[in-house]
Chain A
Amino acid sequence: MSNVLTYEHAVEVRELVKRFGAFTAVDRLDFTVKRGEIFGFLGPNGAGKSTTIRMLCGLLLPTAGRGTVAGLDIIRESERIKTRIGYMSQKFSLYEDLTVEENIAFYGGIYGVSDARLAERKAWILEMANLADRRHSLTGELAVGWKQRLALGCAMVHEPEILFLDEPTGGVDPISRRNFWDLIFTVAGAGVTVMVTTHYMDEAEHCDRLAMIYGGKLIALGSPAELKAQYADAGQLLEIEADPLMRALDVLAEAVHDVAVFGTTLHAVVHAARGEAMVRTTLERAGVAVRRVEPIAPSLEDVFVRLIEQADRQREEAG
């Protein structure tokens, strides 16, 4: 059937559904991941990211719909998929009571890596993860950032074509996150397709393309630039500093298309060219002290927040 070279998309899903009892965790997802790209999977807690990745990796059976990974069917050919992919689960899943080296040897062994090749892979992983000095340490004693690099290494010990990373940087400091993303770039540069889930907007910016999901549904798909451009079509984004902030939020919620709190400021979307002045007068008339109103370029976070609010509104209208 399909072999290493002939598949077109690294991942392709159509109408993918997963229900747990009456609860729908993944709701008719459609997307494709191109070969060699870094594909980000963005969504709030409980959006269905892990559930989707688990179906792609053969850990869960879909309730409905279909999908392929490396051109192989995720339902019928999941065993063949397993040797072609690497998976790093959200929860750390290496053996904490084995040493760094032993974990590498174990995963190499069960993936059928030959002894000679394993020695090379082990050296590469220790170097890549910067773990050479800790090779004999128990894995449970490593700091979180090291563990995650080791987990990435073990997920790649058999040189997979496609990597699924489920929140690989959860709970680590910014420096470790930066280091980890450097590894992802290196790996992707070598031609490996990477599908990665995240909560972090700065990480999402690093992706070639993004799927945003919410409540199990796809709410946006495209490159970071495309998503921001779509947002810009809806109007001009303003950053507003005002006092009291919450009163300003209430007032603007009546007056403008979209408004949300961003740290100590508000972000609002206005249609007209005169939107800036309109916001100022509206707020001042309501007795709010306006410190600053400034047009800004939308960030991914703006895009994301607006899409989620839209989805919520649609859900309310629907019932």
Chain B
Amino acid sequence: MLQRIIMIIWKEFVQISRDPRMLGVVIVLPIFMLLLYGYAINLDVKHVRLAVYDQDGSQASRELVGAFTRSQYFDMAVQAWDERAVTQALDAGKARVALIIPATYSADLARGRRATVQVLVDGSDSTTASTAIGYLAGIVQSQNLQVSLQTLERAGQPVEHRARFWYNPELRSTNFIIPGLIAVILMMLAALLTSVTVVRERERGTIESLVVSPVMPFELMLGKLIPYVIIAFFDVLLVLTVGVFVFHIPFVGSVLLVLALSTLFVAAALGIGLLVSTVAPNQQVAMLTAVMATQLPTVLLSGFIFPISSMPHAIQLFTNIIPAAHFIRILRGIVLKGNGLAELWAPSLFLLVLGMVMLAASSARFKKTL
């Protein structure tokens, strides 16, 4: 049995090494995607054009405006003198976000009452809008802190902003986004890598010699999975390196733990591709299915953008079968918070089980179709 698995692993490696396209998929694609998405998310939300209508015109209100414009996330684009000018600026696209400070702002602060500022966000470009709101919340909160420090004896929560926001990144959102992005990219890549391995044998007719041989479906599936786990592991190193050196994510926790748990993740993701490969009728359908089956659920339900904790309960349960959901928890936990296995055993176990289920399902599928 071991000899057969080793032969299949060896054969896969020889084939991969003779396929120049693999080099592109394995090396160029992940780096390209990470840089593209990383910078797109990173840069787009800096220098958001801001319109300000300061009805108060006081020292306190000017400080609040300053906090926005100094942050490099917002650029002062329009200084408005009435509400109509604010609406016009937003409609004409001269500003994406508008800050309206009421005339009572400094007076409210001085009396220790709750001060309210109004924020209008152009929702037409929802990605920019939502990320801008995130930054906004951060700035208002840090301003909040400053203001409340100044008004400590008089107590209360002085500044309240009225924008509803559903994503709340830290000020440096890349720390939060890049680990998620790494998971999304690895997920797609892994599923793509294995999605054609079995279909290709079927299309080329080589499947017949395999099926008449004493190779068991499980041996074949494992033999096909292992080379790609090794390759995908190389990709883990690659994207983590780019994440640390290009996007400067701080690496608080154990590198070894990240690498070890990444292996579980890529094995589960590769397993999904393998399963697709045993079902798909041809290579095109296989690749398309692998991308569709992994991309949408991974982006929407992994916690990459939308926090899982704010999803309906049924959907929260569903996210458990999404490998990236567990991996993002692991990656953020280790990279940002320095978590260890003590905190992360549950998502790790999920990944292990998912991987084994995929392997078993692929083996079962393979046996039946021939």
Residues of chain A contacted by B210 (CB below 8 angstroms): 110
A215 to B208, CA, bound (A): 24
B3 shortest CB reach to chain A, Å: 6
Stretch at the interface among B10-18, B28-36, B85-93: B10-18
A97 to B20, CA, bound (A): 12
Known interface pairs A87-B209, A89-B205, A109-B3; A95-B11 also in contact (CB < 8 Å): yes
Is B208 a contact partner of A112 (Cβ separation < 8 A)?
no
Within 8 A of B (CB), among A64-84: 79, 82-83
A138 to B4, CA, bound (A): 22
Known interface pairs A82-B212, A85-B212, A87-B209; A106-B204 also in contact (CB < 8 Å): no
Is B7 a contact partner of A106 (Cβ separation < 8 A)?
yes
Q: Name which residue of chain A comes closest to B19, CB basis.
A: A97
Residues of chain A contacted by B208 (CB below 8 angstroms): 59, 87, 89, 91, 93
Within 8 A of B (CB), among A84-115: 85, 87, 89, 91-98, 102, 105-107, 109-112
**Interface status of A33 (Cβ within 8 A of chain B):** no
Residues of chain A contacted by B209 (CB below 8 angstroms): 87, 89, 93-94, 107, 154-155
Is A102 a contact partner of B14 (Cβ separation < 8 A)?
yes
A89 to B209, CA, bound (A): 8
Residues of chain B contacted by A106 (CB below 8 angstroms): 7, 10-11
Q: Is chain B's binding surface mostly helix, strand, loop or mixed?
A: helix
**Interface status of A156 (Cβ within 8 A of chain B):** no
A95 to B211, CA, bound (A): 14
**Interface status of A43 (Cβ within 8 A of chain B):** no
Residues of chain B contacted by A83 (CB below 8 angstroms): 214
A93 to B210, CA, bound (A): 9
Band of interface residues on A: 20 to 34
**Interface status of B6 (Cβ within 8 A of chain A):** yes
Bits for A136-162, please: 1 = Cβ < 8 Å to B, else 0. Answer: 001000000000000000110000000
Is A98 a contact partner of B3 (Cβ separation < 8 A)?
no
Bits for B190-227, please: 1 = Cβ < 8 Å to A, else 0. Answer: 00000000000000111111111111000000000000
Residues of chain B contacted by A154 (CB below 8 angstroms): 209
Residues of chain A contacted by B204 (CB below 8 angstroms): 93, 96
Known interface pairs A58-B212, A82-B212, A83-B214; A110-B206 also in contact (CB < 8 Å): no
**Interface status of A242 (Cβ within 8 A of chain B):** no
**Interface status of A57 (Cβ within 8 A of chain B):** yes
Residues of chain B contacted by A59 (CB below 8 angstroms): 208, 211-212, 370
Known interface pairs A91-B205, A98-B15, A106-B11; A112-B214 also in contact (CB < 8 Å): yes
Is A107 a contact partner of B206 (Cβ separation < 8 A)?
no
Bits for B81-110, please: 1 = Cβ < 8 Å to A, else 0. Answer: 000000000000000000000000000000
B217 shortest CB reach to chain A, Å: 11
Is B18 a contact partner of A97 (Cβ separation < 8 A)?
yes
Chain B interfacial residues counted at CB < 8 A: 24
* Most chain A Cβ neighbours within 10 Å, of B6, B14, B212, B215: B212
Is B15 a contact partner of A110 (Cβ separation < 8 A)?
no
A194 to B6, CA, bound (A): 31
Is B4 a contact partner of A110 (Cβ separation < 8 A)?
yes
CB-contact partner of A112 in B4, B8, B207, under 8 A: B4
Is B212 a contact partner of A79 (Cβ separation < 8 A)?
no
Residues of chain A contacted by B19 (CB below 8 angstroms): 97
Is B18 a contact partner of A110 (Cβ separation < 8 A)?
no
Residues of chain A contacted by B18 (CB below 8 angstroms): 97, 138
Is A110 a contact partner of B214 (Cβ separation < 8 A)?
yes
Is A95 a contact partner of B214 (Cβ separation < 8 A)?
no
B299 shortest CB reach to chain A, Å: 35
Known interface pairs A109-B4, A110-B7; A82-B213 also in contact (CB < 8 Å): yes
CB-contact partner of B214 in A91, A102, A111, under 8 A: A111
* Most chain A Cβ neighbours within 10 Å, of B11, B19, B208, B209: B209
Residues of chain A contacted by B370 (CB below 8 angstroms): 59
Q: Name which residue of chain B comes closest to A61, CB basis.
A: B370
A240 shortest CB reach to chain B, Å: 44
B170 shortest CB reach to chain A, Å: 49
A59 to B209, CA, bound (A): 10
Is A94 a contact partner of B206 (Cβ separation < 8 A)?
yes
Q: Name which residue of chain A comes closest to B219, CB basis.
A: A110
CB-contact partner of B8 in A79, A97, A110, under 8 A: A110
A272 to B88, CA, bound (A): 109
Q: Name which residue of chain A comes closest to B210, CB basis.
A: A110
Known interface pairs A58-B212, A102-B14, A110-B214; A95-B206 also in contact (CB < 8 Å): yes
Residues of chain B contacted by A57 (CB below 8 angstroms): 212
Residues of chain A contacted by B10 (CB below 8 angstroms): 106, 109
A112 to B219, CA, bound (A): 13
A21 to B370, CA, bound (A): 16
B167 shortest CB reach to chain A, Å: 47
Residues of chain B contacted by A97 (CB below 8 angstroms): 14-15, 18-19
Within 8 A of A (CB), among B1-51: 3-4, 6-8, 10-11, 14-15, 18-19
Is A111 a contact partner of B212 (Cβ separation < 8 A)?
no
Residues of chain A contacted by B3 (CB below 8 angstroms): 109-110, 112
Using A85-B212, A96-B204, A102-B11 as known contacts, list a sample of 8 further A-B pairs with CB atoms less than 8 Å apart, ordered by residue number in A: A58-B211, A87-B209, A89-B208, A93-B207, A107-B209, A107-B213, A109-B4, A138-B18
Enumerate chain A interface residues (CB-CB to B < 8 A). Answer: 57-59, 79, 82-83, 85, 87, 89, 91-98, 102, 105-107, 109-112, 138, 154-155
Question: 10 interchain pairs (CB within 8 A)?
Answer: A57-B212, A59-B208, A59-B370, A79-B214, A87-B208, A96-B204, A107-B213, A110-B4, A110-B7, A110-B210
Enumerate chain B interface residues (CB-CB to A < 8 A). Answer: 3-4, 6-8, 10-11, 14-15, 18-19, 204-215, 370
Top 8 A-B pairs ranked by shortest CB distance? A109-B7, A91-B205, A89-B208, A87-B212, A93-B209, A93-B205, A93-B208, A57-B212
